[in-house]
Amino acid sequence: MNTGLTGALLRGIVWLDARLELDVLHPLVLTPVVDTLPLTPSSKVLDVGCGMGWACRRMVRNGAGEVVGVDIHTPSLARARAYARRCGSDSGSLAFCRADAAALPLADDYFDLAVASVSLSWWREPEAVLREVRRVLQPGGRVYVIDVYDRGLGALFTRCSNIFMEEKERIYSAARFRQMLSSYFSRIQQRTIGPFGWGLLTTGVKE
Go through the domains of the chain in sequence order and give each one's CATH number: 39-205 (3.40.50.150)
- The amino acid present at 52, given as its one-letter code, is M
pLDDT of 14 reads 39
pLDDT of 12 reads 44
Please name the helix (run of DSSP H) or strand (run of DSSP E) that holds residue 146, with its range, or none: strand 137-147
pLDDT of 166 reads 79
Residue 206 has pLDDT above 70, yes or no: yes
Torsion of the alpha carbons at 81, 52, 103 and 64, rounded to the nearest 10: 70
pLDDT of 92 reads 72
First to last CA, the chain: 58
Residue 187 confidence class, pLDDT cut points 50, 70, 90: very high
Residue 29 has pLDDT above 90, yes or no: no
Q: pLDDT tens across 30-68, in order?
A: 899 999 999 999 999 999 999 989 999 999 999 999 999
Between 28 and 48, the more confident residue is 48
| 121, 51 Cβ separation under 8 angstroms | no
Distance CA 69, CA 59 (A): 11
Q: Nearest-5° angle of CA 120, CA 76, CA 147?
A: 20
| 94, 57 Cβ separation under 8 angstroms | yes
Between 37 and 19, the more confident residue is 37
Percent of the chain at pLDDT exceeding 70: 86
Give the mean pLDDT of the chain: 87
Q: Tell me the chain's radius of gyration from C-alpha atoms.
A: 17
Residue 71 has pLDDT above 90, yes or no: yes
pLDDT of 90 reads 61
Q: Is 70 helix (H, G, I), strand (E, B) or coil?
A: strand
Q: pLDDT tens across 146-172, in order?
A: 999 999 988 988 898 888 777 889 999
Q: pLDDT tens across 83-137, in order?
A: 898 877 666 799 999 999 999 999 999 999 999 999 999 999 999 999 999 999 9
Q: pTM for this structure? A: 0.86
